[in-house]
Amino acid sequence: MPEKTLAHRFACRVYYEDTDLAGIVYYANYLRFIERARTEWVRGMGIDQKRLKEDEGIVFAVRRLEADYLSPAKFDDELVIETTPELVTGARIVLKQDVRRGEELLFSAHVTLVALSDTGHPARLPANIRLLLH
């Protein structure tokens, strides 16, 4: 894990549209929450994903995701999603993403990202991105 990389925090609120009839967050919406947090994490490092695609033909894709649903979030909760890099290689990034309500851990995921070329084939992570994470 890169020692100098600190966890990125992204705050969001649970809206009515995120919940089921019982007012509990629908399980698939946690994936939307962590996707938004990853996008802001990448943006916060100064990486322009649109330019990366246009200039180098590279996009990020989720290769693997392991998730634990620990406690339900509810309508109007304020959540914080914490994104922390755990492993960076030439071809992939493994992140830990936790969703919390205050100090309570509600959801935790390990997400493996890979870089894909414009033809959809695996590609090496660009050197500038690897340097940001080491």
d(CA 56, CA 74): 41
Q: List the chain domain ranges.
A: 8-133
CB–CB of 77/13 below 8 Å? yes
Pick the CATH number of 8-133 from 3.10.580.10, 3.40.50.1980, 3.10.129.10, 2.170.190.11: 3.10.129.10
Tens of pLDDT, residue by residue over 16-61, are 999 999 999 999 999 999 999 999 999 998 999 999 999 999 999 9
Looking at every residue in the chain, the average pLDDT score rounds to: 92
4 pLDDT higher than 90: no
Phi/psi for 51 (5° steps) reads -65, -40
- β-bridge pairing 104-116 and 122-123: antiparallel
Q: What is residue 91's predicted lDDT score, i.e. its pLDDT?
A: 86
pLDDT band at residue 1 under the 50/70/90 scheme: very low
| Number of helical H runs and strand E runs in the chain | 3, 6
Q: What is residue 5's predicted lDDT score, i.e. its pLDDT?
A: 55
Q: Is 86 helix (H, G, I), strand (E, B) or coil?
A: strand
Higher local confidence (pLDDT), 107 or 128: 107
Would you state the torsion angle of the CA atoms of residues 16, 17, 20, 23, taken in this order, to the nearest 10 degrees?
A: -10
Q: Which residues are catalytic?
A: 20
Task: State the burial class of residue 23 (Cβ atoms within 10 Å of its Cβ: 0-12, 13-18, 19+).
Answer: middle
Of 2-6, 89-93, 129-133, where does the model show the most confidence?
89-93
